[in-house]
A and B are shown apart, each in its own frame.
Chain A
Amino acid sequence: MPVGAFPGAVRVAAIAFAAIAATPLRPAADPAPARAGLPQSSLAVWTGKTWREWWRSDEAPGRWRGPHNAVADAVRWRASADGVEWGELRLAGTGEARRLRAVVVRIDPRVVRLRLDTAFTAGGERAAWTVDDARPDAIMAVNVGQFVRTLPWGWVVLDGHQFLAPGSGPLATAVAVDSSGTVRWIGPDSLKDANVRRGVAAAFQSYPTLLTADGEIPAPLREPGRGIDVEHRDARLGLGALPDGRLLVVLTRFDALGESLGSIPFGPTIPEFAALMGALGAKQAVALDGGISGQLLIRDAEGAHTWRGLRKVPMALVVTRKQ
């Protein structure tokens, strides 16, 4: 029924009701249970008009059930290719994180092809991959996993063959892609089961887990003294899963003088970064190697957009078009 069909006050009330109904919900997050307390900090997002504070350490949610509208709406998405879109948002935090930019990428694994590329120097003595080495047909490339010196930490499967055995740790998450392109997220305990590792075309492990399968922030990220440094600030990189099956990549950059200082490893704490992943809609997420390693490439009609790191890494997740 058109709105004009309502007479007088009833019509106005209907408009008011419709307006209320159309107003997006505020944070779709559960409050965290009482705890020892994270260090005092907050995060604000630039909405395009003003700074809007959306997260505080003393009111940090323990679980994310959906995106935070102020954060999600702050991203202006641009299509890079079929199945890949990206955008940026400005964040203001505490201390060294008072001026940040986050590059956000959404990838639909049903539409694109995911693969892992590795690179080492000729003698195998150093990791050698940078975004500048990404294959020419890559529409997105990002460093993945963690590494000690040259070889990636934890489980690595390349082209269907196990290259490195699984690592263990309570906050380790494995991301596996099967031959059909389906992405699976595997927790540390499940990886012991050989059946879980079967049929995998490419896989890597990383840590710490930022959001568990149901959007919950792991306990060690909610309070100090449980094995995760909840205070340290660094540039961050993370991979998440959206409820519709798409992947979410988020890279934070120091934003004091545009991208010229982008690779300086100033950024959010791990709990703040977990909140950012949740606020952007991830239901599951894991941190990748950030700091001076974090690097990302996106190719679109305008050409290549690169966010370089200061360190060469052994392995990257590369997205190409399906043949």
Chain B
Amino acid sequence: MSYAYSISARTLSRGGIAVAVVAFLAVPFYGAHAQLGGLVKKAKDRVVEQQVANQVEKRVNSAASAPGAPPKFDDVTVELTNDRVSQVIRGLSAGRAVLDGANGSPSRATLIAQRDDAARQSADLSQKNAKAFEAYSEKRDASQRCRNDAIHFSREKRQQANDQRTKELQAKAMSDPAFREKAVAMAQKMAVAQQKGDTAEVHRLMIELNGGAPESDNVDSLAADKACGGALAQPAAMVQSQKLDAQANKLTEAIRQLEEQAAETEVKESKLTERQYQMARERIEAYLSAMKYNSQPRGFSAGELQALGARRADLEKVM
């Protein structure tokens, strides 16, 4: 700490004490013990925090003195000895065989070629029929807008008619005692039917009360069909393009499944646990990457570097 800083700190400290004292006097007496306890606790906390900070500092500095040291080997990160490198190579080779179609399914290369072919055909169709596709999209959008408007209009019209009918029935119930009695009787019957769970009877009674069958559920869609025409047929090329896209997606899924099978085989044949194998594989990738770019591989023990160096060519072949 510099002298200037020290003076300033002392000045601040005196000011701080003055503020604390006056604040202390300004608070009710019954809080004084708690306040004092708080100050002592804060001071203790500061000491603990400083101790922790010192420990962390020590830890951080020790890391700087040994950068790139090997990791702590454990159940997951196992040391890559000659035997383990051989195990990983065995696993990788078995996985590669699966990708090459050893289990009877088409190879990954075949699937990729089929997938790319389907995607290419689809793209060609889209390109050749771009104008027709665009025209269809425009027509479809216009038709959709028309249908939305027609459905909205039909719904509004029906709602208004229903409101009018309800008003008329209410007025009739007020002025026609016979109708009122009939309505009350039917309402009671409906309640009974509902309690029994007899939906057919409820439906029948409602029709009777309303004086006719309700409109069908698709009345709005029918109104839209009438106003705007039915659904537009897609151009044949578009249907074909969509089929090809679906085929390409299916093949992509098949490629992914094959890769998953290969990954499972790698683990199984390596005789390592899945976590051990994945970690070993990742560390080997890091090693090969460093070697490829002529940089020093970090995070490996001397024994590991020796074992990996001895099998580098084999690893590059199967990785």
Residues of chain A whose beta carbon lies under 8 Å from any beta carbon of chain B: 8-10, 12-13, 15-16, 44, 50-53, 92, 95-96, 98-99, 123-125, 148-151, 161-165, 229, 231-233, 256-257, 261, 263-266, 291-292, 310-311
Chain B, range 41-78, C-beta contacts under 8 Å to A: 49-50, 52-53, 56-57, 59-60, 62-64, 66-68, 71-72, 74, 76-77
Name the B residues within 8 Å of A92 (CB-CB): 56, 59-60
Smallest Cβ-Cβ distance to A153: which chain B residue: B256
| C-alpha gap A125/B258 in the complex (Å) | 12
Q: Which of B17-25, B133-141, B144-152, B217-225 lies at the interface with chain A? A: B17-25
Tell yes or no: B249 within 8 A of A by CB.
yes
User: Contacts A99-B64, A149-B259, A164-B253: A13 and B27 contacting too (C-beta < 8 A)?
Assistant: yes
Decide: A44 and B56 in contact? CB cutoff 8 A: yes
Name 20 extra pairs, CB < 8 A, besides A51-B60, A53-B49, A95-B72.
A9-B25, A12-B23, A16-B26, A44-B52, A53-B52, A53-B53, A92-B59, A96-B72, A98-B62, A124-B112, A124-B255, A125-B108, A148-B256, A149-B99, A150-B255, A151-B256, A164-B253, A164-B256, A256-B67, A266-B71
| C-alpha gap A233/B275 in the complex (Å) | 13
From A151, A229, A291, contact of B259 by CB (8 A): A151
| C-alpha gap A292/B262 in the complex (Å) | 21
Q: Which of B192-200, B203-211, B285-293, B305-313 lies at the interface with chain A? A: B285-293
Decide: A163 and B68 in contact? CB cutoff 8 A: no
| C-alpha gap A150/B262 in the complex (Å) | 12
Query: In the complex, which of the residues A231, A256, A261 has the most CB atoms of chain B within 10 Å of its own CB atom?
Result: A256
Tell yes or no: B213 within 8 A of A by CB.
no
- 22 pairs from A and B in contact (CB 8 Å cutoff): A9-B25, A13-B23, A16-B26, A44-B52, A44-B53, A44-B56, A50-B53, A51-B56, A98-B60, A99-B63, A123-B112, A125-B108, A149-B259, A161-B245, A164-B249, A165-B253, A261-B67, A263-B286, A265-B299, A310-B286, A311-B286, A311-B289
| C-alpha gap A150/B52 in the complex (Å) | 45
Chain B, range 108-134, C-beta contacts under 8 Å to A: 108-109, 112, 115-116
Name the A residues within 8 Å of B77 (CB-CB): 232
Number of interface residues of B (CB under 8 A): 52
Smallest Cβ-Cβ distance to A255: which chain B residue: B63
Decide: A148 and B263 in contact? CB cutoff 8 A: yes
| Closest chain B CB from A126 CB (angstroms) | 10
Smallest Cβ-Cβ distance to A292: which chain B residue: B286
From B53, B72, B99, contact of A51 by CB (8 A): B53
Decide: A151 and B53 in contact? CB cutoff 8 A: no
Name the B residues within 8 Å of A15 (CB-CB): 19, 23
Smallest Cβ-Cβ distance to B50: which chain A residue: A50
Name the B residues within 8 Å of A162 (CB-CB): 249
Main SS class of interface, A: loop
Query: In the complex, which of the residues A123, A149, A231 has the most CB atoms of chain B within 10 Å of its own CB atom?
Result: A149
Name the B residues within 8 Å of A231 (CB-CB): 74, 76
Smallest Cβ-Cβ distance to A97: which chain B residue: B63
| Closest chain A CB from B49 CB (angstroms) | 7
| C-alpha gap A163/B49 in the complex (Å) | 52
Name the A residues within 8 Å of B283 (CB-CB): 265
The 8 closest A-B pairs by CB, nearest first: A256-B67, A13-B26, A51-B56, A16-B23, A99-B63, A12-B22, A149-B259, A124-B112
Name the A residues within 8 Å of B286 (CB-CB): 263-265, 292, 310-311
Query: In the complex, which of the residues B19, B59, B259, B263 has the most CB atoms of chain A within 10 Å of its own CB atom?
Result: B59
Main SS class of interface, B: helix
Tell yes or no: B252 within 8 A of A by CB.
yes
Decide: A96 and B59 in contact? CB cutoff 8 A: no
Decide: A229 and B25 in contact? CB cutoff 8 A: no
| Closest chain A CB from B14 CB (angstroms) | 14
| Closest chain A CB from B62 CB (angstroms) | 7
Tell yes or no: B163 within 8 A of A by CB.
no
Decide: B116 and A124 in contact? CB cutoff 8 A: yes
Tell yes or no: B168 within 8 A of A by CB.
no
From A8, A123, A261, contact of B109 by CB (8 A): A123
Name the A residues within 8 Å of B275 (CB-CB): 229, 232
| C-alpha gap A116/B79 in the complex (Å) | 37
Name the A residues within 8 Å of B255 (CB-CB): 124, 150-151
Decide: B76 and A229 in contact? CB cutoff 8 A: yes
Name the B residues within 8 Å of A232 (CB-CB): 76-77, 275, 279
Name the B residues within 8 Å of A50 (CB-CB): 49-50, 53
Name the A residues within 8 Å of B56 (CB-CB): 44, 51, 53, 92
Tell yes or no: B156 within 8 A of A by CB.
no
Name the A residues within 8 Å of B66 (CB-CB): 256
Smallest Cβ-Cβ distance to B77: which chain A residue: A232
| C-alpha gap A36/B303 in the complex (Å) | 36
Name the B residues within 8 Å of A263 (CB-CB): 286
Name the B residues within 8 Å of A291 (CB-CB): 282
User: Contacts A99-B63, A265-B299: A256 and B262 contacting too (C-beta < 8 A)?
Assistant: no
From B67, B116, B252, contact of A257 by CB (8 A): B67
User: Contacts A13-B23, A52-B49: A98 and B245 contacting too (C-beta < 8 A)?
Assistant: no
Decide: B53 and A150 in contact? CB cutoff 8 A: no
Name the B residues within 8 Å of A165 (CB-CB): 253
Decide: A292 and B289 in contact? CB cutoff 8 A: yes
| Closest chain B CB from A263 CB (angstroms) | 8
Name the A residues within 8 Å of B109 (CB-CB): 123, 125
Decide: A149 and B262 in contact? CB cutoff 8 A: yes
Tell yes or no: B298 within 8 A of A by CB.
yes
Tell yes or no: B316 within 8 A of A by CB.
no
Decide: A256 and B64 in contact? CB cutoff 8 A: yes
From A8, A150, A229, A261, contact of B298 by CB (8 A): A261
